[in-house]
Every structure is written in C-alpha cells, then in structure tokens.
Amino acid sequence: MSEINGKVIVITGASSGIGEATAKLLASQGAHVVIGARRVDRLETLASLIESEGGSVAYQQLDVTNIGQMQAIVRLAQSRFGRVDVIVNNAGVMPLSPLEALKVDEWNRMIDVNIRGVLHGIAAGLPIMKAQHSGHMINVASIGAYAVSPTAAVYCATKYAVRAITEGLRQEVGGDIRVTLVSPGVTESELAESISDNEARELMKSYRRDALPASAIARAIAYAIEQPVDVDVNELVVRPTAQLA
C-alpha cells in the first residue's frame, strides 16, 4: 500500500496547473486532499471530479497572502480529517517584465504571493506538525531559484527566497518534520497569462514550446511524499529533457 494512502494533504493554488494535477494524483492514491485557491468555482469543479472517482476532498477559498485564510484551511483539514500530514505551498504568480518597466504593483504581488504565501503556509502548519511530532512541508519554487534571466529578476528573487526559506526550515526542524523543495522547469500552467509586458510575453511564448505537463510535477511531489518516514527528499529539480537552462 502506498505511503500516501490516508495522508491529509493541504494544497494551495489548487484551481489549475500543478496544484490541480497534484490534488488529482494524490487523491487517486488514497490521500485526503484539502484544496484552496481564490477561484471557488474551479475548486468546486475539481472537488466534484475527485469525489466522482472515489477520492476524499475538502475545499475552501484561499488567498495565501491572508494569514487568517491560510490558518483557516489548515484548521479545516485538521477538523475534518484529524491531522495535517503535508502542506504543499504551491500558489504562485509570474508577471514578468524588465525592471525598467517599473511595474511596482506586479513586483509587490509576486513578493506577497510567492514569498509571504509560503511563509503563511509554514506559519499555519508548523505548530500542528510540531505537536504531532510529524509532518511534511513541500514548497514549490522554480528553476528561477537557481539562475536569473532577463524580465524575471523579481520573479527569480522570490524563488531564490523560497529556496532559502525551505533550506532554513529543513535545518531548524530536522527530525520529526520533512522539508522538500520542488523546482519545476518550464511547465504547462496559467502563470504566463499574468504577464502584462509585451516583450516578456513574447519571450515566454518561445520559451514554453517544450513545456512539461503539470502531471510531471505532481508525480515529483508524490515521490517525495511516498518515501518512508525516515527518508527526506530535500530538493527536486524537474526540467523537460529539451530544456538546457
């Protein structure tokens, strides 16, 4: 029987892309998935699909920039299923643009969602995991956490931050709680749709020609979760074979 079976797993940014694919896969393997995102209609559709296939799911509207909402969805998981085994901090935005475009509102949005959102997930889940003496925090970063490219300076900065936060958390909580960083290469998602800068949008079109399906990243997340309790997969970088950088 899979190590995933029966685990209670909270997934942020679950209305599309990697979050949606991860919820489907983990539910199919017997997990109780608790899904959150801003678009409730998408969550309802996904929950109905999971339930129709015999899966266990709960959902709640979630803006990860709001610590109260993040705490609320973790409480939902705990009250509905009795514990919280895994939190997948997946929610993210990627409105790329050259720095000289001065899209300050978009910079702030990336900082709020990509960094504060992860910190809020940690803040909401860590006390429960410490009390349980078990748990697994999975933070989704990007290959942008390892190298910077034009138009992506702020985005990459947020992902470098996620990488640093994840490694710091691993060092602080080692023992009872596992910590994993998952860094996708170019992957099919709605992230590129948030790009308002024309130059960055055109660059992204060519960059995404060889994108991975979101299910590939879902399988990487499942791999980290399904390891025996004494095995901590710390870092996974998953790229398309054709992607060289």
Give the whole-angstrom CA distance, residue 15 versus residue 133. Answer: 30
146 as an active site residue: the answer is: no
Task: Classify the phi-psi angles of 186: left when phi > 0, otherwise alpha if psi is within -120 to 50, otherwise beta.
Answer: beta
Q: Which pair of tokens denotes residue 174?
A: 């080692």
Angle between helical axes of 117-132 and 67-81 (0-180°, round to 10): 30
CA angle, 112 then 207 then 101, to 5° = 50
Residue 145 in contact with residue 162, Cβ under 8 Å?
A: yes
Q: Please give the torsion angle defined by the CA atoms of residues 244, 14, 62 and 96, in that order, rounded to the nearest 10 degrees.
A: 30
- Indicate which residue of 59, 155, 160, 207 is catalytic: 155
Residue 212 in contact with residue 187, Cβ under 8 Å?
A: yes
Task: Classify the phi-psi angles of 187: left when phi > 0, otherwise alpha if psi is within -120 to 50, otherwise beta.
Answer: beta
3-class secondary-structure state, position 244: coil
Q: Which pair of tokens denotes residue 172?
A: 């602080």
Q: Which pair of tokens denotes residue 97?
A: 């643009």
Residue 218 in contact with residue 21, Cβ under 8 Å?
A: yes
Catalytic site positions? 155
